[in-house]
Amino acid sequence: MTLSADPLEAAIRGAADFFETSYQGDPAWAARAVAQLEYLAVEIPAGRSSRDLGAMVGPALLSARHVLRSTLGIPQQDPPQAVIDRMEAIALNRASNPDLAQRLMALPRLPQVNSATQMTLRDWEFGPPQELIDVAEVRRS
């Protein structure tokens, strides 16, 4: 579990950690990671980040959410908060949908989701890629 005073940072680090390792057999951890990705896919494209993230982060997270929902059988039209609430219920072992908990337990590695969460973490920690190029050019001068 990732602790941070900033909920956005905690979600970035938590989702990136889970989807990088993708532990099977822990539906509570998987549910938290799904809830974190849902949160990120709303907050970051809406521009509610205190940091500048690369232009590709928002679309990558939206695409990752689509892949994750498809994999889990979650309807694409479900509101993000409803999905977050269901995931939190599963994480707290209060699930009313045992089939979804089983799918979370057997969640396979999802490279596109991992890539999106790792990109988000990288940009959170180091800034967007263009900024890194600008810094490198300044140092050569």
**Tens digits of residue pLDDT in 4-16:** 678 999 999 999 9
Alpha-carbon distance of 42 to 19, in angstroms, equals: 18
pLDDT digits (tens, 9 = 90+) for 69-110: 999 999 999 999 999 999 999 999 876 778 898 999 999 999
Q: Is residue 13 part of a domain?
A: yes
Q: Is residue 2 part of a domain?
A: no
Q: Is residue 106 part of a domain?
A: yes
Is the model's pLDDT at 138 over the cut of 70?
A: no
Containing structural domain, residue 59: 7-140
Helix-helix angle 57-72:27-43, to 10 degrees: 140
Q: Is residue 1 part of a domain?
A: no
Total domain count, the chain: 1
Alpha-carbon distance of 63 to 68, in angstroms, equals: 9
Q: Is residue 48 part of a domain?
A: yes
pLDDT of residue 55: 87
Decide if 27 contacts 104 (C-beta within 8 A): yes
pLDDT of residue 23: 73
